[in-house]
Chain A
Amino acid sequence: MEKILTKKSFPQWVKKLSLYKIYAPVRDNDICNLEAIDNPESIDLDCSNTVLSPKKIIFPQREIYLEFETSDENKLQVKEILPEETPSVIFGVRPCDAKALTLTDKVFSGDFKDPYYWKRRNSTTLIGLACNIPPSPNCFCLSVGGSPHSKEGLDILMTDLGDKYFVESLSEKGSTLINLAKPLFQQPKAADKKAVEKTQAEAEKKIVRQIKDIKKIPSILENMFDSPLWDKESLSCLRCGICTYLCPTCHCFDINDEVSSSSPVKGKRVRTWDNCQFPDFTMHSSGHNPRPDRSSRLRQRILHKFQYFVELYKDYQCTGCGRCISKCPVGIDIIEVLDKVSDYGS
């Protein structure tokens, strides 16, 4: 289904979706965040990349697994806590972030389907916004199989055509949302479709950053485990968690018990994000650490994304959103690192 929605009507559409919980980009001074909103007017679709991707909604930083408590008869009881299936809509999803969810989908599927992830995933509709202008100077989606108007993982793709949006439904979930406000939408004219094509072609040209020889990288990496490159590239790494926490594809987590009373015991078991750049991530309780230094941790990040994930799921675990580059406090640039990897291979 292809439709036209004027920008003026956009807030009315959002209002029609009152049965859904709405998330959208919201401006907070100099940055943009993805937030739950009540007022459609607060949505800012001109935002650059939100600091955190929709990952934070589907795979929240903190998820309660279960609660445990000692009953009056001194009996320990464990209660499973599953998230409520709140029908939700996320507006302004960038194509790279939608693609990223198709990658985390793979991780949370398989022999063990993750009920927490899927409850949230299945109840969420993703409304994408094509990037006519790269939302970050470090965008490189074209290098990793994406594009500024990719439809992968989206339920609807909106393309900004000046005073209106070209709205394309890509799934049943998407069509449902359009049908809830049918009168607001018009049939597109041939000129609109032309305009979309033109915008898309121009958008691709505006993406300046790219990884050279991406196709060769997985096989080159196979022989680079002991390369001195990792030492060199990680010299300034601060061991913070920005690159991984902001990454829309990174999915590593920790499980801990949070106790409100230790005797009798009462508390919650929670999952929180964790990341491979923290030194305690792999440390055994004996103190032995298989990845003891910055260089082995940078190597893990690169190899996981461009070798291991490719081996396991036949795709790069990177969608080119550029967040890790833009926000790295010391300017570690994954494109640069990968370019040096290709040089290494030649």
Chain B
Amino acid sequence: MVHNDYIPKLAHILEIKEEVGGARPIKTFRTQFQNKNDFSFRCGQCAMLSVFGKGESMISISSSPLVKDYLQFSILKMGRVTSALHEMQPGDIIGIRGPYGNGFPIKDWKGKNLIFIGGGIGLAPIWSVLNTALGKKEEYGDLTLIYGARTSKDLVFREELEEIKKKIAVHLSIDVEESDWNEFVGFVPQNVTDKKPSPNNAITITCGPPIMIKFVIKALEDLGFKDEQIYTTVENKMKCGIGKCGRCNIGSHYVCKDGPVYSWAELKKLPQEY
């Protein structure tokens, strides 16, 4: 039989957790394949999720490859497919194909200090690599997480964050002052400037809204980080996931295949088309 990349594998939704409510809700879905799980992926890779009858959407995998029992996706309700996903219940069936994309080059990061910088739903792709590093903590240097959202209610993985705080340095922020908020108030880039992470033997991984990424990179540059030390992810509209349908390209790069992970050194060379 010919291998057909366009046919998704069926998976159950095991568990749905509401992360953020309100007008821009986020839910986390844990899924399990109906048949044998031969889905192996790297941190930072994505999968194309199907809601049959609605279509497909490319979503980053937020669980660590070390976890074998389920695949996890944290999804912001945005359009046709993600709205349908938000309507779903545990036990419902979705389609998954992939994994797609290059993923983070974590093999090259052994022995280095990793600084994770996230904004809003941008914590999802970070979550996979952060948990992988936590699982093999001995292989890396110091781990730091700088994470923020508009309000305290918009922070994802709140319970897990409390757990992680016990293991590594976590610096949270919210955009506007709230009563009983004891951490930083301000935008994520300001928090980065405030916490002054050291560029020595360090790698930073930044995910979030494009505007946040732009200013985080500026803040990091001011702190002395080199372009090669700064990693980020890019998103563009995708359909096929395998570099053929022609819409997610930035120059001759297809984000679905050659991305979504880029070092700032690489990204700088590409046209601004994302």
Contact = CB atoms under 8 A, between A and B. Distances in A.
Interface stretch (A149-157, A163-171, A178-186, A255-263): A255-263
A239 B47 CA distance: 32
A283 B237 contact: yes
B53 A312 contact: no
B265 interface: no
Interface string A275-312: 01000011111100011000010000001100111011
B4 A267 contact: no
Contact of B7 (A66, A259, A271, A308): A66
Contacts of A296: 273
B8 A78 contact: yes
B213 to A, nearest CB: 14
A82 B4 contact: yes
A257 B273 contact: no
Nearest to A308: B252
A248 to B, nearest CB: 15
A240 interface: no
B267 interface: no
A188 interface: no
A262 B53 contact: yes
B274 interface: yes
Interface residues of B, number: 40
Contacts of A252: 245-247
A284 B2 contact: no
A259 B247 CA distance: 24
Interface stretch (A46-54, A104-112, A127-135, A324-332): A104-112
Given A68-B53, A267-B53, A312-B252, A276 B247 contact: yes
Interface in B31-60: 50, 52-56
Interface in B214-253: 235-237, 239-240, 242-252
Contacts of A282: 236-237, 247-248
Given A113-B2, A285-B82, A296-B273, 7 more contacts: A252-B246, A253-B239, A255-B55, A257-B55, A267-B52, A269-B6, A284-B235
Interface of B: 2-8, 10, 50, 52-56, 78-80, 82, 93, 95, 235-237, 239-240, 242-252, 257, 271, 273-274
22 contacts: A66-B7, A78-B10, A80-B4, A112-B242, A112-B244, A113-B3, A115-B3, A118-B2, A252-B247, A253-B239, A253-B240, A255-B240, A257-B54, A271-B6, A274-B245, A282-B248, A284-B237, A285-B78, A285-B80, A290-B236, A290-B274, A304-B246
